[in-house]
Amino acid sequence: MSNFLRTPIEFLKGVGPNRADLLKMELGIFTFNDLLSYYPFRYIDKSNFTSVRETGPDSPAVQIKGKIQSIRAIGQKRGARLVAKFSDNTGVIDLVWFKGVKWMKSNLKSGEEYVVYGKPSMYGSVLNIVHPEMETLEEFSKSVSGELQPVYHSTEKASNSWLNSKGIEKLMKILVDKLGNAYPETLSSELIHNLD
């Protein structure tokens, strides 16, 4: 194994000492090689969209493209939550956050187009998605082109520091871009030639 792959994880851009401690303690990722060996447990097809009208509490996880109509914080301290009204041209669904309320409120923008992904549920008579994955439509267009998106295991503690599946995927992309020839080729030259 090259020295590059033995590099401690805290030296990867976007990690730093605090996140490194979480990666080590929560996920067993100590080095660049450990991160490369942290494989996804499944993949999600992010090429399909569902409309709000087609979405119900019995639906599997859905991906919806639309705009935030309004954002409001409800409650205080431990009981605080953020609710955003999200709509496409077929209806409205609530997006709800119980964690990271302050951060989400300062980063979400009414009227901006987003792509949300999550499992719908009902709260009383209101359809909602709790803690959806979110990207602006612009970010989504740059990052996904009908491909399968990996899903990585994480823990609640790691996810609270943005080391959820999406965060791990971003770190993986940063590392793969840095790899160069640091990882030894395992395919035979004949097979590589045939695949060219």
Candidate from 4-13, 19-28, 176-185 with smallest mean pLDDT = 176-185
Q: Look at the chain and report how many structural domains it folds into.
A: 2
Between the two ends of the chain, the Cα-to-Cα distance in Å is 26
- Domain final position from 105, 126, 143: 143
Residues 139 and 63 in one domain: yes
Are 63 and 51 within 8 A, CB to CB?
no
Please give the residue that has the higher pLDDT: either 196 or 33.
33
Provide the pLDDT for residue 18. Answer: 92
- pLDDT tens-digit series, residues 54-105: 998 898 889 999 999 999 988 777 778 899 999 999 999 999 998 878 888 8
Across the range 11-26, mean pLDDT stands at 93
Q: Give the percent of the chain with pLDDT over 70.
A: 95
Q: CA-CA distance, 79 to 82, in Å (whole number)?
A: 10
Report the C-alpha gap between 54 and 41 in whole angstroms.
28
Do 51 and 15 belong to one domain? Answer: no
Same domain, 83 and 102: yes
The answer on pLDDT for 115 being more than 90 is: yes
Task: Count Cα atoms within 13 angstroms, Cβ side, for 9.
Answer: 24
CB 2, CB 31: distance < 8 Å: no
Q: Are residues 125 and 60 in the same domain?
A: yes
**What digits encode the pLDDT tens for the residues 141-175?**
776 555 788 999 999 888 888 899 889 999 999 99
Query: Looking at the structure, do residues 52 and 108 belong to the same domain, yes or no?
Result: yes
Q: What is the pLDDT of residue 4?
A: 86
- Verify that 181 and 122 share a domain, yes or no: no
pLDDT band at 1 (very low <50, low <70, confident <90, very high): low
Q: What is the mean pLDDT of residues 48-57?
A: 91
**Which phi-psi region, left, alpha or beta, contains residue 55 (left: φ > 0; alpha: ψ -120 to 50)?**
beta
CB 126 within 8 A of CB 94: yes
Average pLDDT of the segment spanning 27-47: 92
**Are 109 and 27 in the same domain?**
no
What's the pLDDT at 9? 95
For Cα atoms 141, 111, 46, give the angle at the middle one, nearest 5 degrees.
Answer: 30
Give me the domain span that covers residue 110: 44-143
Q: Residues 78, 165: one domain?
A: no
The burial of 144, by beta-carbon neighbours within 10 Å (0-12 exposed, 13-18 middle, 19 or more buried), is given as middle
HSE, side-chain direction, 13 A CA sphere, residue 154: 20
CATH code for position 16: 1.10.150
CATH number for 139? 2.40.50.140
**Same domain, yes or no: 113 and 32:** no
User: Is 49 in the same domain as 127?
Assistant: yes
Distance (Å, whole) CA 185 – CA 118? 37
* pLDDT for residue 34: 95
- Same domain for 51 and 121, yes or no, is yes
Same domain? For 54 and 81 the reply is: yes
Q: How confident is the model at residue 182 (pLDDT cuts 50, 70, 90)?
A: low
